[in-house]
Amino acid sequence: MEALRRPSTIAFFVLLAIAAVMPLALGQAKFPQWLEVALGGLLTGVLYSLVAIGLVLIFKASGVFNFAQGSMVLFAALTLVRLAEKMPLALAIVVTLLVMIALAWAIERWVLRPLVNQDGIVLFMATLGIAYFLDGFGQAVWGSDIYTLHVGMPKEPKIILESVFDGGVLVDMEDFVAAIIAAVLVAALTLFFQKTSTGRALRAVADDHQAAQSIGIPLNRIWVIVWSVAGLVALVAGIVWGSKLGVQFSLSQVALKALPVVILGGFTSIPGAIVGGLLIGLGEKLSEVYLGPFFGGGIEAWFAYVLALVFLLFRPEGLFGEKIIDRV
Amino acid sequence: MNLRELEPGTADRELGATILAVEGVSLAFGGVKALTDVSFEVREGEIRAIIGPNGAGKSSMLNVINGVYRPHAGKISFRGETRTHMDPRHSAKLGIARTFQSLALFKGMSVLDNILAGRSLMMKSNLLLQALRLGPALREEIEHRKRVEEIIDFLEIPHVRKTPVGRLPYGLQKRVDLGRALAAEPRVLLLDEPMAGMNMEEKQDMSRFILDVNEEFGTTIVLIEHDMGVVMDLSDRVVVLDYGRKIADGTPEEVRASQAVIDAYLGVKH
């Protein structure tokens, strides 16, 4: 991880660490309480990462910023919750996955294939269209009520470290399970991308369509694969978010939080999406609780975007992104 | 830099049978005729150059051969199989590899991964086995890596094998482009201006690589080049295009003597 050794990266993390422990140093907070807030923030950050990973996957493999990732999360969650009413949950998950693969195939066939070799911005506009279509189509088919999704996630918060601190630290078990799921997903995706020839082909397609074709990489099949994987990630995010917040239209808006996450972490880096999510989750919770009182609250709503703005100014490739070198 | 003369016995070689032929190929973009009724053939084992002034249709010709463009008329025969058009994946499967005029490398990937990607079509084993590095997949990976390391050594770029290609100087990127094409172990190699933008030394290196590929692996080479000196030194036979038409075809000496070629390059008084 060469990016980690860059002085600006180190400076950023040092500043961040100082800012994070500030409330402790100033005596504003006691350690167990601070730890509780920090953990809560990190775990929420994992949920942001889940959506961000989907964005990064498609960006890596097709150079497209997929505006529809949030809509895919909503669509997957809606499909799953309505199917689960009619069949066992496990079966519903499998069927939903098949639906997402069919969706990937349809997107490749009718949206991407006619746009081969077009600029990134053209493909981005196409994903805007996909987003609106999916939002409308999903709700037309499955209904637009708020549905509750029960997948057996533990709902009860748990108190840990009771023996260490007085009163212990409260942890949301649902977020904790989500974090484990995310970790497994990331491990699997990393293996897939770095160690398989299909993964290599995906990265190749991301860099240059024409060259990839000339060495015999089947562009169409690669796109179906990558959108299917993004569909799988959307389904996982949909399950986790849906079970936490209920399946409703606002799920498609979680993608808006994933945008600052990928700006922070770098558009091309899966570890970046994780770290970015964690940093933003942690940052917004800590600043809400400890800075909020001075500003009248509401920091959580804009913290991520301001941080992203700072990154766009000083480090547009993000923490882990490939440094952008354009030869003219 | 007359490389042919340095290596005796290569100047007048016996040419093999026809491996690739285009017949009456025409291609137009809207009203612009890029190619008009072009025919020529490439013999097995030769270095065949396509030259011509800017806009003569040279790159279009390569794009027709490997299937990026569909010609409006004409036929392409490769290894005895005749068709009206190719497609890039199919031509790669048949054994046609190419490089690009403006670099089209996988910039974010290392030199090693770029060249490994060139072997995409030969990767057979199962995805899951690859991910877990099990049994046959591991053996296959090792075998591919071995071949790729040979290519890296051959192109004299072992010191940068782990470097992301986007960070390499231009001349080395051109070599990686060649390496990726070689990795597919092609029967025919299409080189689109392999020496464009290079200095004298880089051109000499590249010429040497091209000759070595041709001689050591017996790869047939179709080459577009602007540098006349290079073309005359390297190629066995030359096709000259002008405004999308073939105006000459023959050995470098014949082409150099052709009045049509001289007119195309220097202009004619009207």
Distance CA B87, CA B30 (A): 21
Distance CA A198, CA A204 (A): 10
Residue B175, pLDDT score: 92
Contact between chains at B121 and A215 (C-beta distance less than 8 A): yes
Number of A to B CB contacts under 8 A, please give it: 96
pLDDT 10s digits, A105-149: 999 999 988 887 777 789 889 999 999 999 999 989 998 888 888
Contact between chains at A214 and B108 (C-beta distance less than 8 A): no
pLDDT at A326 over 60: no
Any CB–CB contact under 8 A between A117 and chain B? no
Residues of A in contact with B88 (CB under 8 A): 210, 213-214, 216
Residue B31, pLDDT score: 83
Q: Which has the higher per-residue pLDDT, A291 or A162?
A: A291
Residue B125, pLDDT score: 62
Contact between chains at B108 and A192 (C-beta distance less than 8 A): no
Residue B6, pLDDT score: 43
Single pTM value for the model: 0.77
pLDDT 10s digits, A48-92: 888 898 888 888 777 788 889 999 999 999 999 999 999 999 999
Residue B131, pLDDT score: 67
Q: Which residues make beta-bridge pairs with B98?
A: B190
**Average pLDDT of chain A to the nearest whole number:** 85
Angle between helices A197-207 and A31-62 (to 10 degrees): 80
B249 closest CA partner among B44, B7, B19, B21:
B21
Any CB–CB contact under 8 A between A216 and chain B? yes
Determine what percent of chain B is predicted with pLDDT higher than 70: 90
DSSP three-state, residue A52: helix
Burial of A300 (0-12, 13-18, 19+ CB in 10 A): middle
Q: If you compute the radius of gyration of chain A from its CA atoms, what whole number of angstroms results?
A: 20
Residue A298, pLDDT score: 82
B12: left (phi over 0), alpha (psi -120 to 50) or beta: beta
A155: left (phi over 0), alpha (psi -120 to 50) or beta: alpha
Closest residue in A to B124 (Cα–Cα): A197
Distance CA B188, CA A257 (A): 50
Determine what percent of chain A is predicted with pLDDT higher than 70: 97
pLDDT band at A194 (very low <50, low <70, confident <90, very high): confident
DSSP state of A165: S
Any CB–CB contact under 8 A between A220 and chain B? no
Closest residue in A to B170 (Cα–Cα): A327
B117 closest CA partner among A241, A86, A269, A203:
A203
Span of A157-171, B39-53, B240-254 with lowest mean pLDDT? A157-171
Distance CA A73, CA A247 (A): 10
pLDDT 10s digits, A251-302: 887 778 888 999 998 888 888 888 999 999 999 999 888 888 888 778 888 8
Span of A94-98, B8-12, B118-122, B169-173 with lowest mean pLDDT? B8-12
Distance CA A264, CA A58 (A): 17
**Average pLDDT of chain B to the nearest whole number:** 86
DSSP states of B140-176: HHHHHHHHHHHHHHHTT-GGGTTSBGGGS-HHHHHHH
pLDDT band at B127 (very low <50, low <70, confident <90, very high): low
Any CB–CB contact under 8 A between A200 and chain B? yes
**Mean pLDDT, rounded, for B226-241:** 88
Contact between chains at A210 and B97 (C-beta distance less than 8 A): no
Any CB–CB contact under 8 A between A215 and chain B? yes
pLDDT at B10 over 50: no
Span of A74-83, B98-107, B135-144, B158-167 with lowest mean pLDDT? B135-144
pLDDT band at A250 (very low <50, low <70, confident <90, very high): confident
B41 closest CA partner among B12, B69, B74, B67:
B74
Nearest to B130 among A188, A197, A325 (CB): A197
Span of A76-80, B117-121, B175-179, B216-220 with lowest mean pLDDT? B117-121
| Paired tokens of A275 | 């770290």
Residues of B in contact with A195 (CB under 8 A): 130-131, 133
pLDDT at B25 over 90: yes
Strands B47-51 and B237-242, sheet pairing? parallel
Residue B22, pLDDT score: 93
Closest residue in A to B186 (Cα–Cα): A215
pLDDT at B202 over 60: yes
- On whether the CB atoms of residues B189 and B210 are closer than 8 A, the answer is no
Any CB–CB contact under 8 A between A268 and chain B? yes
Residue A84, pLDDT score: 92
Residue A208, pLDDT score: 81
Interface test mutation site (partner A, options B63, B86, B89, B98, max chain A beta carbons within 10 A): B89
Residue B4, pLDDT score: 47
